[in-house]
Amino acid sequence: MYNTSLALATRAARFRSRLTFGALVFFAFFRLILLPEGEGLPLFSSWLADSAVFLTLLLIARILQAIPGGRIVSRLFFHSAYLLYFVLTFSYCYFFREATIRQYSIFDLTLSGIAYFFTNVLPFWGNILLLAALLLVYVVSYLRDDWHIPTTLAFLLCGSLFMVAKATANENASPILHLIQDVSEAARSPGLTVDPAPTEFSLDDLDSWTHPAPRFEPRFQKIIVLVMEQITLAQLREDSRALPHGTFFNREEEHSHEYNNFFAADMDSRTGMLALLGGRLIPFEAYSDEDVDQYSFVSGKPSLLNIVKNRNYRTVYSASETERELVVTDLPWDQIYTLTHEEVDQARSKYLCINPYEFEHSCEDKIMVSRLVNDVVKHDRVFLFYEFIFGHASEYIDIQKKTAVQYYSEFIDDLISGLRKAHELDHTLIVVTSDHGIRDHGYESWLSTYRIPLLFYHSSFKKQLHPELHSQIDFRDIFLEESSGKPSSLKSRKFAVFMGTTTSSIVGAITDQGDVMVLKNRKWLPYVMFNKNADEEDAPGGPPKSDLKPGAVVRYIQDYRAKFLSGNLPAH
């Protein structure tokens, strides 16, 4: 009986050894096949780190097995931890570039966020590949019963691989290295204590519908709002300088009203657009089913669309993808222009069309120009809201070898050309803004990360610069005055709060004195990532100039969220 138990334990231990080796081999080949050229060092160091983790799991399982009665515990621990880390590593590899620049942390994951990833982000064939990989590794490891990794060798490999990985680590996509960086950042950062919000912090400032909207007396029959993808004002200016003078952003600078201190309220596309159209902060991360359930009701609340529709404008939403943006497309649009799967298939011979995520089957934006022009021409009054797709996935930029700013400028030039030929340009106001700022790790403390463009263009305009501090929440009032030909009367904010991107746990604020406050607002172990002054753009900041306290900002957002969830939002 003892010999039988020992034989089974030995076989189980060898099976775990082969699973470990199988993971190391699979992820080595997976990285080489899927990752782009030029990513050699991050690829190498992340593989070393992940290999060290798999070996560590093997060693822990062996230690547990050596404890009396620990065989079952050893098996449960190893297989659950192995499957978890296998799935994490696969996800990081599949979206290597995004994982590298965003540096996700497992501390920020939620069950709802994980479910969203596998149902809406990872493409269908990605899920099939993951299941096939696990099946292959388990089946081959079970059938090959003739070797295993000795414990001494496992210890040596684990330590040496991890040391080399840490020595070569440089923005690499590895769950364990990102976890270590996260813990290190939390350990050296000040803690965050929630303080009562000062009485001068009015929750009304986070919802434009708590005060009357400016009177809308439209000067233009056609209004087109173009929302760029993740473009900051600094990036727009820098990339525009590299373009010929005859392109839109350079040519029409003298005919634009520019709001050059305009900040994102939400750092995701969906909630950023809802802030623009709805005029209120969405106090949740955008892309998890749990959070969507909390804020989806805003599609039935007052928005900018209600105002323009009351003046007989036809409201149109458009994006060059097959899927519709939840909640945004539930607003009261008269027309929604997206693509069908058949249109995408037919367009591939002329336009670049890709499927980077399960939620995005898209083509480059230029496929929509003629459709948009035709709609503007056919109707007397049109409010057209267009969400750019180019740049949402890096593949567009990589394949076309163009910056997003260059592509947007070409698109707008094509649009203007179509409007001019149809004799509609003189009747059309063009508004250019962005959905959010930069979401990459390492940019959180930059003032320019959150400052986004807001330009109003018409051939009759003379150049204007508006330096007042505004937020996406203020777009309603700014838009109504600009489109009515009135001078801006909106007062500058003392500070503008923002919600970070999904799975970041970040909230923060920008002050009118140039302070940048970035807070890791986790339910456990919250801390201050950054709280300094950066009035010279992104130069190293000194101490904050305002008396705004991190804990008070968190409480302010918490109080607003409670009001938001109560449904007690203005009805007009």
Check whether residue 184 and residue 207 sit in a common domain. no
N-to-C CA span, the chain: 79
pLDDT reported for residue 8 = 47
- Confidence class for position 161, pLDDT limits 50, 70, 90: low
Local confidence band at 163 (pLDDT 50, 70, 90 cut-offs): low
Instruction: Look up residue 85 and give its amino acid.
Output: Y
- Domain encompassing residue 57: 2-188
Residue 571 lies in a domain: no
CATH number of the domain that 552 lies in?
3.40.720.10
pLDDT tens profile 348-361: 999 999 887 767 78
Judged on CB neighbours under 10 Å (0-12, 13-18, 19+), 306 is middle
Whether 339 and 420 map to the same domain: the answer is yes
Residue 195 lies in a domain: no
Looking at the domain assignment, is residue 93 inside a domain? yes
Question: What pLDDT score does 386 carry?
Answer: 97
Q: Tell me whether residue 53 is in a domain.
A: yes
pLDDT bucket at 540, cuts 50 / 70 / 90: low
pLDDT for residue 207: 94
- How far apart, in Å, are the Cα atoms of 155 and each of 14, 74, 75, 151, 161? 16, 18, 19, 6, 10
pLDDT value of residue 1: 43
Give the residue from 524, 504, 436, 503 showing the smallest Cα distance to 115.
503
CA dihedral for 40, 43, 49, 52, sign (positive or negative):
negative
Coil, strand or helix: which one is 224? strand
425 and 391, same structural domain? yes
Question: Of 188, 217, 236, which residue constitutes the final position of a domain?
Answer: 188
Question: Does some domain include residue 479?
Answer: yes
326: closest CA among 392, 271, 391, 278? Answer: 271
CB 258 within 8 A of CB 464: yes
For residue 3, the model assigns a pLDDT of: 45
Looking only at the bridges linking them, the beta strands covering 470-471 and 464-466 are unpaired
Does residue 198 form part of some domain? no
From 63-72, 314-323, 371-380, 495-504, the region with the lowest mean pLDDT: 63-72
**Judgement on whether residues 209 and 148 belong to the same structural domain of the protein:** no
Q: What is the 3-state secondary structure (H, E, C) of 9-69?
A: HHHHHHHHHHHHHHHHHHHHHHHHHHCCCCCHHHHHHHHHHHHHHHHHHHHHHHHHHHCCC
Q: Indicate whether 570 belongs to any domain.
A: no
Domain C-terminal end among 188, 220, 243: 188
Mean pLDDT of 428-445: 91
The more confident residue out of 168 and 137 is 137
pLDDT of residue 569: 67
pLDDT band for position 150 (cuts 50, 70, 90): low
Say if residue 164 is exposed, middle or buried (CB neighbours under 10 Å; 0-12, 13-18, 19+). Answer: middle
Which residues is 262 bridged to in the sheet? Answer: 470
428 and 351 share one domain: yes
Same domain, yes or no: 213 and 163? no
Q: Residue 59 pLDDT > 80, yes or no?
A: yes
Q: How many other β-carbons are positioned within 10 Å of the β-carbon of residue 41?
A: 13
Measured distance CA(66)–CA(231) in Å, rounded:
56
Same domain, 510 and 394: yes
Short-list 110, 197, 187, CA closest to 554: 197
Q: When comparing pLDDT for 506 and 11, which is higher?
A: 506
Q: pLDDT (tens digit, 9 = 90+) per residue, 389-406?
A: 998 877 888 888 899 999
The pLDDT value recorded for residue 2 is: 42
pLDDT of residue 193: 84
**Rounded average pLDDT over 90-117:** 79
Average pLDDT over residues 299-306: 94
Q: Does the pLDDT at position 373 exceed 90?
A: yes
Same-domain status, 311 and 381 = yes
Contacts of 472 (CB under 8 A, 6+ apart): 262, 263, 264, 265, 266, 272, 275, 276, 452
Same domain, 159 and 243: no
pTM: 0.88
- Shared-domain flag, residues 75 and 40: yes
| Mean pLDDT over each residue of the chain, to the nearest integer | 86
Residue at a domain's end among 153, 188, 223: 188
Q: Quick one: pLDDT band at residue 152, thresholds 50, 70, 90? A: low
For the segment 27-40, the average pLDDT, to the nearest whole number, is 70
Whether residue 294 is predicted with pLDDT greater than 50 in this model: the reply is: yes
Assigned domain for 145 exists: yes
pLDDT at 170: 54
Do 177 and 214 belong to one domain? no
Predicted local distance difference test score (pLDDT) of residue 6: 45
Strand pairing report for 262-263 and 470-471: parallel
Please count the structural domains in the chain: 2
- Paired tokens of 453: 């463009």
Per residue in 168-197, pLDDT (tens digit) is 555 566 787 788 788 888 888 888 888 777
Q: Taking 50 as the threshold, does the pLDDT of residue 492 lie above it?
A: yes
Are residue 254 and residue 393 in the same domain, yes or no?
yes
